[in-house]
Chains A and B, each alone.
Chain A
Amino acid sequence: MREAAREREFREYAEARQAQLRRSAYLLCGDWYEAQDLTQTTLMKMYTAWGRLRRDGNIDAYARVVMTRTYIDQHRKGRWREEPVDELPQRPSDESSSPDLRLTLRAALLRLPPRYRAVLVLRFWEDWSVEQTAEALRISTGTVKSQSSRGLSRLRELVGEHMWELSER
Chain B
Amino acid sequence: MNDHDLFQLILDRPEPDFPSVVDAAVAGGRRARRRRRVATLAAGAAVLAIAGAGVLLTPSASEQVGPAAPVPPPPAAASARPTPESAAPDVTATPRSTEPPTTPPEDGTRADASIAPEGPPEAVEADNPPRLPTQSSRTIRCQATDEGKCSSSARN
Contact surface of A with B, Cβ cutoff 8 Å: 7, 10-11, 14-15, 18-19, 22-23, 26-27, 32, 36, 39-41, 43-48, 50, 90-91, 93, 95-98, 101-102, 105-106, 109, 120-121, 123-125, 127, 152, 155, 166-167, 169
Chain B hits for A44, CB < 8 A: 24-25, 28-29, 32
Give the 10 A-B CB pairs with smallest separation, nearest first: A47-B29, A43-B25, A124-B3, A44-B28, A40-B21, A125-B7, A14-B22, A169-B1, A44-B25, A44-B29
Q: Mark B1-30, 1 if CB is under 8 A from A, else 0.
A: 111111101111111101011101110111
A sample of 5 cross-chain residue pairs with beta-carbon separation below 8 angstroms, ordered by A number, consists of: A11-B26, A14-B22, A36-B21, A47-B29, A169-B5
Say yes or no: B25 contacts A40, CB within 8 Å.
yes
Say yes or no: A105 contacts B9, CB within 8 Å.
yes
Chain B hits for A152, CB < 8 A: 3
Say yes or no: A14 contacts B13, CB within 8 Å.
no
- Report how far A97 CA is from B14 CA in the complex, Å: 12
- Report how far A152 CA is from B6 CA in the complex, Å: 10
Q: A32-B18, A40-B28, A43-B29 are in contact. List 8 more A-B contacts (CB 8 A).
A: A14-B26, A27-B10, A44-B32, A47-B28, A48-B36, A105-B10, A109-B10, A155-B6
| B26 nearest in chain A by CB position | A47
Q: Mark B33-64, 1 if CB is under 8 A from A, else 0.
A: 10010000000000000000000000000000
Given contacts A40-B21, A48-B32, contact A10 B10 (CB under 8 A): no
Given contacts A27-B11, A106-B10, contact A125 B4 (CB under 8 A): yes
Say yes or no: A18 contacts B10, CB within 8 Å.
no
- Report how far A123 CA is from B6 CA in the complex, Å: 12
Chain B hits for A18, CB < 8 A: 20-22
The B interface is mostly helix, strand or loop, or mixed, namely: helix
Given contacts A15-B20, A22-B15, contact A102 B26 (CB under 8 A): no
Contact surface of B with A, Cβ cutoff 8 Å: 1-7, 9-16, 18, 20-22, 24-26, 28-30, 32-33, 36
Chain B hits for A15, CB < 8 A: 20, 22
- Report how far A105 CA is from B32 CA in the complex, Å: 37
Say yes or no: A43 contacts B22, CB within 8 Å.
yes
- Report how far A42 CA is from B5 CA in the complex, Å: 25
- Shortest distance from the beta carbon of A83 to any chain B beta carbon, whole Å: 18
Say yes or no: B14 contacts A95, CB within 8 Å.
yes
